[in-house]
Structure 1
Amino acid sequence: MDLKEGCGSEASRETESGGMGSLGGPTSWQSFAHRSTLHSLRFIFPYSTSSSPYRSTSRRLLWSAALLASLVLLVLESTERLAYFLSYPHVTSVDAMVSGSLVFPAVTVCNLNAYRFTRLTQNDLYHAGELLALLDVHLQIPEPHLAEPHVLAFLTEKSNFTNYRPKPFSMQEFTERVGHDLKEMMLYCRFQGQECSHQDFKTHLPRSFIYVFRRAPRNAFWPRKTQTKPFQSIFGSIIC
């Protein structure tokens, strides 16, 4: 009888102590808030005694407002920085230096009017009329009403191929004869304080005259062998 009463008393004490622990102990969220390193979280969800100042409602509201304001500022700043990053910002810095003398590896001069119209012959029109867009594939004048009177008269005379017997045609000979001569185009030339002439230019003949000026300055090294580039490659350095 005493044993049963002792067991019953011990069980009742355990039940009471367990009930008090469940009623007065911290919840799982309060335990997490207390162990968290996030500032002010443990002050918003305290589980200390009722006499503790951290259980004051006003203090909890102040801490909650401070935490909420910090989170709002964090979200706004992060959003603004992310939008700035996605705009792919870049800064271009350009330094301009004024020099009284520039050293050019090469200066290329051309005439966009590749051929002289007045030098064309009947044989030139027969072989290269379509290439020059002066005649069509049938050796006829395309859209004669758009041509100027003197041009139309010249083409009409030269494009009469009735009973005409064409002669051999050479594109190089045609370019040398009909192309623009630099000696006739140049009025004045001066480079780095020195006079220059058409003899200082090297002539290239891909399909029209291309004149390359290359005069080495004093104490400068220039390659002995130079490779002639195609017309398309040196077109970017052309001065017209």
Structure 2
Amino acid sequence: MTWLNVKEAKEEAPRPPSDITVFGANCTLHGLSHIFLPGGVTIRRLLWAAAFSSSLSIFLYQVADRVIEYYRYPHVTILDEMDSPVMYFPAITICNYNSYRKSQIRRNDIFWMAGLLGVEQGDFDDFMAALGQPTDNSKFFPSKTFNMLEFVQRTSHNIDEMLLDCKYRGKDCGPENFTTVSMSFLGFWL
């Protein structure tokens, strides 16, 4: 091999890619892998560079605009007040998270609802004692069926007991102004 052949071999050997080319090829930022490729400049690369630069410029402009707007501390203090001669009773929701009144739960309810109430079968007597009801199990015979609607209506809280005082526009109001809606069934299935 002559000196000339060695020089030609060195010139023909591919050059290693530059750091920016390696970065662009491995970067997940959209568009960079199409811009920084080994080789010369092409129309395709110029178009990708223009699209990437314009997208980045628009993004940075929007970020700067929102930051400037945030530090202006804008606020609106417009208040529209309207006087109405007739005002209807407003919609009010009163929720009692204690779904059932313990004083209304019977041994038959515990028999059928033990799993939902979190009572083990061996703990029936203790649960009944905690409710203040007799623990005598000898005379207890469970019913053959169980009516969940009757249970909810009997054991749920009544608006008459929960509403202590109500006044609207200077006039007394009471349970008759409220509509009772029971969501207890949903609680079991959610």
TM-score scaled by structure 2?
0.46
Which structure: greater strand fraction?
1
**Which is higher, the Rg of structure 1 or of structure 2?**
1
